[in-house]
Structure 1
Amino acid sequence: MKTSTLILILISSGILFYLALSGFNQLNSAAQAAKSDFNNSSSTTQIVTIQASGNYIQTIDGANLSFDFNKTSNHGVILLPQIGKDKSSFIALEKELNKNNITTLSIDLRGMGETIYPKQMFQFTDQDFISMQNDVDAAANYLKSNNVQLIGFVGASIGANLAFNFASKHNIGKAVLLSPGLSYRGVSIVDDLNQSNGPILLIFASNEDTYAFDSSQKIQDNYTGSLTFVKLQNEGHGANMLDSTSISKIVEFFKK
């Protein structure tokens, strides 16, 4: 092989290595940036671009979310329902939070209630459920666009998993999880259990709801953050557990 050819090969290899290294550094920087302080970011469109028209919030992938927004202060909570229910399952809780000057935003996730989405729930694949995270992103940005600081979530069942994942990734202070599962339809919380600065958790689960109860116990055993597990008996699943006692606990949790 000629000397000039060898030099060209070495130069080309060096350029390729530099480009590959640059690409890796960019990917690594992006991964670090993904765990952001949502409330202190400068733009309301850091995660998604949202539009609101009438009673709908549009997600980045085109779902139109039906929502109820009650602004009573500049501190707010997002409420995420379980499969088979909609935002109306939180009405009693919303009223009590509002009485205590906590703004609420409840949404119908894609496939639920009055939200407009190309598929019906029975047609969903796991990927459709995973894409519900876009619904949470849009809701969070809607709060920010209305000058409300997101202080926490209330989520039921799969809504609990979605709430925990967003709160863990974006430094949101608190989350109430009603019947969480280690994984619901592909929406897993396992990877975020060891976050060093995860949200303060208030978990409710009822003993006869075996999967949610066992999952809650495993969360308590493995979570590295602060957590309170309220163990109930024969109270059902998700928002079905909301009564005057549990609602009072949730309100006090967010008032602290």
Structure 2
Amino acid sequence: MKLRRNLLTLAYAWLAGSGWAWAQEPPAPQRVTFTTQDGVKIVGDFYDAGAGGDQKPAFVILLHMYMKDRTSWAPLIPELTRSRISVLAIDLRGHGESTEVVEVTPPADEEEAAQPPDEERETEEETPKGPTGSDLVERVKARDKKVFKAMTEDVWSAYEWLAKSGKVDLARFGLVGASVGCTVAMDYASRDKSVDVVYCLSPGTKYMGLRSGPHIKKLADQAVMLVSNPEERKESEELKKNDENAELNVTLGKNGERDLHGTDMLGKVENLEAEMAGYLTGHLGSPSDPKEMVVGNIKTRVYFKPDMAQAQKLPERVRRWFSSPEEAESRGMKPGGGLPPTPFD
């Protein structure tokens, strides 16, 4: 749970969950593109909830389900932006417009190329080469496990785009996934401890050959919500055994539907979008205080004050922000550069 959460944040989460929100039109989407380190051109829509505000908003990255695309999140986005949460909805590789593969130069710095370790990552994934990425699309249709395993690269690059944009509060970071997008979200969050909250619609124990259990097991210090229909509740219950702190919500459709899956729930489950916005708001917390924020290396699990020399040298790939030393340490980070450990009451 976000350590800086206070009564104001809790009250706002309740208001958002009960359907209250600022009366404002959602921002127009900005179409964005960026290229992953393994050469896939990712396309997404960015919704800036902070335009005209004094403080940068929290943000979430949305990860759709198999054979869908970023447009499947349309019913949710207005509720999020009204709740002052900026949104980056991407087409995962091989889906929607994210089908182009380009030649890239591998980073010279080993740290810039590395993701924090993951024992589930069996081999080095090879991205199919081709001017249009047609092989990539076919491999997705064939449910090629290696392509889905490599989707964490899409999230990594999405974060890097947001960090460079300068438009969001980097210490208030959430992921929302649907179906196999839940697996991708849990995989990523298990290695990036700056993620505050993971919200899952129809998570499974194994999608496209990828197991979620080993990842959710590492999320005990991050908020996790598992939402499923009655027909799939056993999958969520099994996942919850790996993380007793995860929350579980089994829900029916407005007309009693028992089999709504992933983003098909949006617009069809009573108040789901408002409940999602409220939960995310509560766990993303109130705006960060720049005087309290720290920056760390999520690979070595060491954090620094932003003005320290070590902080200036952190590779972009593994540089992440936390709202306070307390939050960083609650996620398994250790103080570096001679900083004393934070005393906890």
Normalised by the shorter chain, which TM-score bucket? 0.7 to 0.9
Give 1:218 deviation, angstroms.
0.8
**Which has the higher mean CA deviation after the structures are superposed, 134-143 or 227-236?**
227-236
Aligned to 2:320: none
Aligned with residue 111 of structure 1, among 77, 94, 97: 94
Unaligned runs of 5+ in 1: 1-53
Q: Which amino acid aligns with 1:135?
A: D
Aligned to 2:41: 64
Aligned to 2:105: none
Distance 1:230 1:68 in 2: 28
Q: Which has the higher helix share?
A: 1
1:221 aligns with 2:241: yes
Runs of 4+ in 1 over 6 A off after TM superposition: none
Q: Percent identity?
A: 27
Aligned to 1:248: 274
SS of alignment partner, residue 173 of structure 2: strand
Distance 1:229 1:156 in 2: 15
Give 1:196 deviation, angstroms.
6.3
1:190 aligns with 2:216: no
Q: TM-score, normalised by structure 1?
A: 0.73
Give 1:187 deviation, angstroms.
2.6
Aligned with residue 199 of structure 1, among 222, 226, 231: 222
Q: Please show how residues 8-157 of structure 1 align to structure 2 within 5 Å.
A: 55-73=32-50, 74=56, 75-117=58-100, 118=133, 119-120=136-137, 121-147=140-166, 148=168, 149=170, 150-157=172-179
Aligned with residue 261 of structure 2, among 237, 243, 248: 237
Q: Which amino acid aligns with 1:253?
A: Y
CA separation of 1:103/1:196 partners in 2, compared to 1, >3 Å: closer, same or farther? closer
Contact kept, 8 Å, 1:97 with 1:104, in 2: the verdict is yes
Distance 1:255 1:237 in 2: 24
Q: Which amino acid aligns with 1:56?
A: T
Give 1:186 deviation, angstroms.
2.9
Contact kept, 8 Å, 2:59 with 2:173, in 1: the verdict is yes
Give 1:246 deviation, angstroms.
1.0
Higher RCO (C-alpha under 8 Å, 6+ residues apart): 2
Deviations 1:202-237 (A, max 9, x none): 1110122x3xx222011122314x222110231511
Distance 2:150 2:275 in 1: 31
CA separation of 1:253/1:141 partners in 2, compared to 1, >3 Å: closer, same or farther? same
Distance 2:241 2:142 in 1: 35
Unaligned runs of 5+ in 2: 1-30, 51-55, 101-132, 253-257, 283-345
Give 1:123 deviation, angstroms.
4.2
Q: Which amino acid aligns with 2:180?
A: I
Contact kept, 8 Å, 1:168 with 1:198, in 2: the verdict is no
Distance 2:207 2:147 in 1: 12
Q: Which amino acid aligns with 2:234?
A: D
> Highest Rg: 1 or 2?
1
Q: TM-score, normalised by structure 2?
A: 0.55
Deviations 1:168-224 (A, max 9, x none): 22111101101111121133222123326442111110122x3xx222011122314
Give 1:103 deviation, angstroms.
0.3
Contact kept, 8 Å, 2:36 with 2:157, in 1: the verdict is yes
Distance 2:214 2:65 in 1: 21
Distance 1:130 1:196 in 2: 18
Distance 2:176 2:39 in 1: 24
Contact kept, 8 Å, 1:168 with 1:197, in 2: the verdict is no
Aligned to 2:13: none
Contact kept, 8 Å, 1:163 with 1:175, in 2: the verdict is yes
Deviations 1:22-44 (A, max 9, x none): xxxxxxxxxxxxxxxxxxxxxxx
Deviations 1:113-165 (A, max 9, x none): 11124221224521111111111111111111123225211100110111112
Q: Which amino acid aligns with 1:191?
A: P
Contact kept, 8 Å, 1:235 with 1:241, in 2: the verdict is no
Contact kept, 8 Å, 1:168 with 1:199, in 2: the verdict is no
Deviations 1:71-96 (A, max 9, x none): 11331000000012110011121111
**Which has the higher mean CA deviation after the structures are superposed, 72-81 or 185-194?**
185-194
Aligned to 1:181: 204
